[in-house]
Amino acid sequence: MPDNKPVAVVTGASRGAGRGIAIALGSHGCIVYVTGRSEKPGDAPLPGTIYETAEAVTTAGGIGVAVRVDHGIDGDVEALFELVKREHGKLDILVNNACALHDELTAPGNFWEKPPEIVDMLDVGLRSSYIASYHAAPLMVGQRYALMVFTSASGSVHYVYGPVYGAHKAGMDKFAADMAVELRDYNVAALSLWMGALKTERLQLVIDSNPEKYGHIADRTETPEFSGHVIWALYRDPELLELSGQTVIGAEMALKYGIQDAGGRQPLSCRDSHQVAPRVQYPFIIR
């Protein structure tokens, strides 16, 4: 495991999960490239910019580097990793988190009653994670130790918000499983991380839209930083390669590594709260 300052890329880090993960990695001394499209207040309906996140990363103890990237444009993504290569020549941690989430995704109704644009999360979300991994892999395999993470959730194995959401989560899990097969010989791990309900501005809007229906979620949320601390512990685990290819539950990894959320809270695993678990990837391989 390298001892020099780790270099990380966290996609979609203007706000929400990406922002929290980036700040947490910064608190562990990482150089964190923060990507997203929001450069100034008003660029998006929700607050948060890449520069604000990068500053928070630096304040936390790391080095935050803001890079405007539209993850729907392959050239932007390629340029990002060329920048990382020029400045550091390596990449230790990639967190694939960017996702195009439309407000209508959580609106009432069946899939045919919602705008078709919600399927965009299979472009900026699923496809974009593949493209980021494609450009990141050459930087990771050369150093013989690195971690590629796909942020996901239990909606990959049960109904949540409709088929688009589920397809995205299931795809993230499968990307981790299959990329791990090809990365293993290079000592690079790929994992999908199931996060719980995150205490973000977006979730708060959902709760506020129907407190009677969603109010109970507020007491079961995780902070976005929680996932970042779990990712750091995974990266530092000398047995990381034994986990590679798996979908892991953040709350369970936190127990394994002795991590608590803000205020000393220990988030509950969806295995207990929802009676669900990640699908098992069979070892049969055709290459």
pLDDT at 219 over 70: no
Whole-Å CA distances, 219 to 140, 197, 208, 255, 268: 38, 10, 14, 19, 11
For 218, the token pair is 């507020």
> What's the rounded Cα separation, in Å, for the pair 56 and 35?
14
Residue 165 falls in the annotated catalytic set: yes
pLDDT at 215 over 70: no
Our measurement of the distance from residue 29's CA atom to the centroid of its chain's CA atoms, rounded to an integer in Å, reads 19
Q: SS3 for 126?
A: helix
> What's the rounded Cα separation, in Å, for the pair 135 and 78?
6
Mean pLDDT along residues 158-168: 97
Residue 157: which H helix or E strand, with range? none
pLDDT in tens, 254-279: 999 999 999 999 999 999 999 999 99
Mean pLDDT along residues 202-207: 69
The domains located in the chain, with CATH, are 7-196+223-273 (3.40.50.720)
Catalytic site residue from 165, 186, 257, 282: 165
- Size (the chain), residues: 287
pLDDT in tens, 41-92: 877 888 899 999 999 999 999 999 999 999 999 999 999 999 999 999 999 9
